[in-house]
Structure 1
Amino acid sequence: MRIPLPPPLRPARGRRPRTAALLTLVVALALTLTLGAQATAAPGGSRPGAGSGAEDTRTYEVRGVSSAAQRSALALQGGVAIDAVHDHSVTITADRATVRRLERLGYLLEELPAGNPAAADGAAALSTPSAYHSYSQTMAAVNSLVSRYPDLMSSRVIGTSYEGRSIVAVKISDNVRTDENEPEILFTHNMHAREHLTTEMALYLLNEFATQYGRDARLTQLLNTREVWVIPSVNPDGKVYDQDSGVFRNWRKNRQPNSGSRYIGTDINRNFAYHWGCCGGSSGSTSSATYRGSGPESAPETRVVTNFVRGRVVGGRQQIRAHIDFHSYSELILWPYGYTYNDTAPGLDADARNAYATVGRQMAASNGYRPQQSSDLYVTDGSINDWMWGSQGIWSYTFEMYPRSSSGGGFYPPGSVIDRETARNREAVLILMDHADCMYDAIGKPALCAS
């Protein structure tokens, strides 16, 4: 089917088990320390103004933050969202009020330059909005590929955003019009508005599947025995807001108003209905970049994804076996759980954890990312990875794409790196597709797939 272009807008883990009490104590103690803070997203705002009452924002390095407990403690300060993690510091984007509050608490912040003349790897210049496909251009590219490869690709509108834009899923399979009894793999992109490189990743995958089917033997075999789904933009309203004015606005959340508040938006990746708001890994403040919403699945975009995934249960069995949620930046491969530091937890036993880690490390060996459990960075709750695994039994990873640090352009790397950095994940994607029929094969326990 042809996807409609956008309508007019409506007005406006650590390695040691920890009990909950111990985690609370660790976080409380960490709050009293003089720490360096990690990168945070602006509380509802953007440098040119977010239309939500937020102040002007800047990017900062917070020094002296080294452990997951310290990073989690920092994230509790007004719902600070961490942009990037380094060995002994983090990068955040914050408004002046947040900066003053963190400094009063003893955090050491250094403002980073507003823009770098060149990326760390020598790329010519930082990106402009036009370097990336807009939402409209993305939909046009999807329409074009589906039209050119109708025997391999189909697309459907699986729901709409708050402002009424289509959220699209593209199916890729050798028998695309038939719902075959084959393992399904889902790739989701652009959950956070400003992470435009992830939409480019979606378009790269669609183009690669289309053009290399029948040419690349390995890819062809995988598409003959798998069904693939690609959602290029989970957050189209946020993408349009961040990009289409011609100036990046550093926007993270969706564009849903919050009742009784001047602040707009919910962090979709804190809005999923698995341990939602449980563990200090999200914020209850509407001004926060990690605002978890008024309730689980309160964001329409979250419901679109979860309803689609639930709809893939056929005969009582979830057909989607594996999933990657693409984000940027930091060059990481993450797996569940995010809500607890423990390596294992209810629903995630040692075998499952080992399978996650083994496949994660295989993928990381192919793209140079760092593999780790999500909570090794800091605690998050209500995330898509935890929901996919804990609720649906889907093997779910997050890829944090290029760059490794803000010096490479942060959320807006040069357009000149798009081709290189999307192709960089080709092998990792094929590795996951290959394992999707039985992830336990990776640890030599295929019998567990029958249980």
Structure 2
Amino acid sequence: MTATPGEAMRIAKLGYKVVRTETEAFPAADSGYHDYAEMQAELDKAAKAHPKIMQKLSLGKSYEGRDMPLIKISDNVAKDENEPEILYDAHQHAREHLTVEMALYLVKLFTDGYGKDARITNLVDSREIWIVPDMNPDGGEYDLTGGKYHNWRKNRQPVGSGYKGVDLNRNWSYKFACCDGSSPVVSSETYHGPQAFSATETQRLRDFVLSRRIGGVQQIKAAIDFHTYSELVLWPYGYTMNSTAPGLGADAQKTFAALGRTFAKSNGYTAEQSSSLYITDGSIIDWLWATQGVWAFTFEMYPNSPSKGGFYPPASVITAQTARNKDASLTLAEYADCTYKIIGKAQLCSTASSPR
């Protein structure tokens, strides 16, 4: 008999012994990566080491019952302060394991660097930083079943006809299934789901983001959604090739482009509008910007070609390829208080002038 993690917990509470018989770990050559249990252990260790500035919270449970950790880092971490908030999320797509390492790197950067690095200390003191290290724990664990890779992208929710999985980054509500940027076919890697937010995991992050809307004002000001691969910095919109569109005027477009190019100067990626790669609809960055006014970017991490590992680069690159995004990640947080200042129009950041 097999059971999901949630089912296993319920069975154990009934007094039965639950035995794990299936290996869900990286191949030996890539043991430098963190599987789900190892990721949780690293987060627990960091929270214990830095209780004054870090909290390990939860978005809730995934479809199969795995906890989806939510990390908060701030100088008065137990208090909800009136400070700009930044969101970094990772691993919407199961096979993109390097993004989990990116999230763990950011946790370590902001906690271990606090009190030692003036730039980091200033950000932790003046911002509330949210990190979601694993948006797709079910898919990620399935991708490692038996100690080998399965090239799995979606979550593990049944979708009919014997198939499982929704592409989480096509399941957000803004322009959902609008523009041939996702698939209506349940077997497709880019299946968008029967309706927006049908996936448990997108519901969880959506609900958190909406909870940060205080007094009608979204507290999260900027975000990075980490993916692999292609070495790109992408900004909205993904659903249209037009550089400006409803909700994205000329000043906002110039700001996105200026920020994106600034990030690219530090990490060596190519900066472009999301649709320049290909049309996507129902993506998180389009939703974050269009519905919440969050300056949201997608970072497509290393490598830039299949020959360098594609979705499965060797563990030997983790240290260099996560640190590669240090400056860009910090720069985003620094601009979160007034992104328009990058184009010399700080006046647009006032409540009266802001588009949101």
Going from structure 1 to structure 2, the CA distance change for 1:142 and 1:244 (only over 3 Å counts) comes to farther
1:146 maps to amino acid: A
Say what the alpha-carbon RMSD is for the aligned residues: 1.4
Going from structure 1 to structure 2, the CA distance change for 1:425 and 1:185 (only over 3 Å counts) comes to same
Asked if the contact 1:193/1:239 (under 8 Å) is kept, the reply is yes
Which residue of the partner structure matches residue 165 of structure 1? 66
CA distance in 1, matches of 2:270, 2:195: 33
CA distance in 2, matches of 1:443, 1:200: 32
Which residue of the partner structure matches residue 296 of structure 2? 396
What TM-score comes out, normalization by structure 2 length? 0.91
Asked if the contact 2:168/2:199 (under 8 Å) is kept, the reply is yes
Which residue of the partner structure matches residue 310 of structure 2? 410
1:326 and 2:223 matched: no
1:192 maps to amino acid: H
1:133 and 2:34 matched: yes
Which residue of the partner structure matches residue 419 of structure 1? 319
1:159-186 Cα offsets, whole Å, 9 max, x none, are: 1111000111100001101100000000
Which residue of the partner structure matches residue 130 of structure 2? 229
CA distance in 2, matches of 1:424, 1:282: 30
1:342 and 2:265 matched: no
SS in 2 for 1:326: strand
2:169 maps to amino acid: N
Give 1 or 2 for the bigger CA radius of gyration: 1
Give me the identity figure in percent.
Answer: 55
CA distance in 1, matches of 2:9, 2:275: 38
Question: Mapping of 1:243-392 within 5 angstroms?
Answer: 243-259=144-160, 261-392=161-292
1:155 and 2:56 matched: yes
CA distance in 2, matches of 1:246, 1:129: 10
1:193-221 Cα offsets, whole Å, 9 max, x none, are: 00000000011110111111001001111
1:146 and 2:47 matched: yes
SS in 2 for 1:258: strand
1:239 and 2:140 matched: yes
Asked if the contact 2:36/2:141 (under 8 Å) is kept, the reply is yes
Which residue of the partner structure matches residue 443 of structure 1? 343
2:298 maps to amino acid: T
Which residue of the partner structure matches residue 190 of structure 1? 91
What is the total number of aligned residue pairs between the two structures?
Answer: 331
What TM-score comes out, normalization by structure 1 length? 0.72
Q: Which runs of 4+ in 1 moved over 6 A?
A: none
Displacement of 1:127: 8.2
CA distance in 1, matches of 2:314, 2:28: 4
SS in 2 for 1:158: strand
Which residue of the partner structure matches residue 51 of structure 1? none
- Structure 2 gaps of 5+ residues are 11-26
Displacement of 1:236: 0.3
